[in-house]
Structure 1
Amino acid sequence: MTLDLQRAAQRRMRRAVITLAALVLVLVAALVVIALRGDDRTGSAPAPAPERSTTADPTPVETMPTDAGEYVAPASYVALPDGAGDVGGLPVEFPRTPEGAVAMAVASARNAWSLDAAEVEAGIRAYASAQYRDEMAASAEDGATGNRAFAGLPEKGPIPRGAALNAWPIGVKWEKKGSAVDVLVLLRVTSVSGAGADPKTTLVVAPGRAIWESGDWKSDLTDPKPLPDPAEIGTARFNEDGWKAIQEGSRL
């Protein structure tokens, strides 16, 4: 990553931090497209996705990196538990374990990349801590607008035919901090600005903190701090940087 890109990412981070009360929620980190610190990989991106939002899982894309020779298998996997319940199709009621906290953060980060403000708000209400839930829900429209900008779409009006924005979590790191769990989610985000447009794939690291609240894990605010550069799964650096590949339920 060039110095200019790093500075641009830092400016986006500062704007988001100011907008969101000087703190970063993992859900909102994705919503307003902060912490965008990765290389576009258009050479290996999949065919344009069908016209849809990101509530459902996108089709996995090829993991072989374009700038290396052999595929390097992940050295470590983590089996993330399923939620025991759901709210509007979003999984909730994760077990009270570090892996349960990570599973919530992954679900939250995945849902945040949506072009639909109603879907963004639903994710906030499902995963945000009660203390900040209403405030964050009020920013759902801004989140969807930021996602539109990321995908190269007009901020207002109908979404162009063939436009899509999909987020696929590919790796995680976490650290217990007392009763909380600090989580980093590594995502591959693919966007298409419309029918016939070339897809763009970017790696993003989304930070967050999970706390146990009312019988489930919820996303709390965490202090902004420098984030690690993302690493594509299938590369040696993915392992060297300590990322764990994700297995959710019976799905890799």
Structure 2
Amino acid sequence: MPEVGVFTPDWPLPPGVRAASTTRLGGASGGPFAGFNLGDHVGDDPRAVAANRAALGAALGLPAPPGWLSQVHGRAVAGPDDPAGSAADARYADRPGVVCAVLTADCLPLLLCSDDGREIAAVHCGWRGLAAGIVGRAIGRFATPARAVSAWLGPAIGPAAFEVGPEVREAFVRADAGAGACFRAGRGTRWLADLCGLARRALLAGGVQRIAGGGVCTVADAARFYSYRRDGVTGRMASLIWRDD
């Protein structure tokens, strides 16, 4: 079984809750997917992806296979009983043994956990999902008050690399005038967007005050991270959260 590149988020979690995020290091994939690719929709050899996913489960001692989603850059939140492959960009769980996971390669992985550890979620935050309100929808699934929920922001495209068109800035500013602070002028009519900053605004607006992580750019670190913006054809990394049985 291949070695895997996995790290534990620097994020205080209640007993019984575990979280992890992967890099491209290790793994069985080759070519443009070289390393620890966990995406089965990017053109990689299915046998390599299956080996990588099996290695992930073994390395982390997962209580069940991750409930991988068909991510569509929307705002749907799958629940603990929705099957793998559900068209959604977040998964919520309120019981042990459900592994919430999202795949990314520049988009922002966001993990959520209630202070008592009873409720968790993993959220895929691309700009479209953020603009559509995916963060607020995920927070809204929690029965726990948002003030008793904490968040972790994983590796994502940084503000020096995320160049977008004016329509992207307009989509955010239309809903939140203060979101303009997360954009700075780029080339011509283009803008440089701070994806983590936009996610923080959404979390704070939803009542989540304690936010860890952020600031790690996938584009800038080709040795450790896949990046769709940098490479085009590339693999996917996973961010996961679960409660032990």
TM-score bracket, normalised by the shorter chain, equals 0.3 to 0.5
Structure with higher RCO (Cα < 8 A, 6+ apart): 1
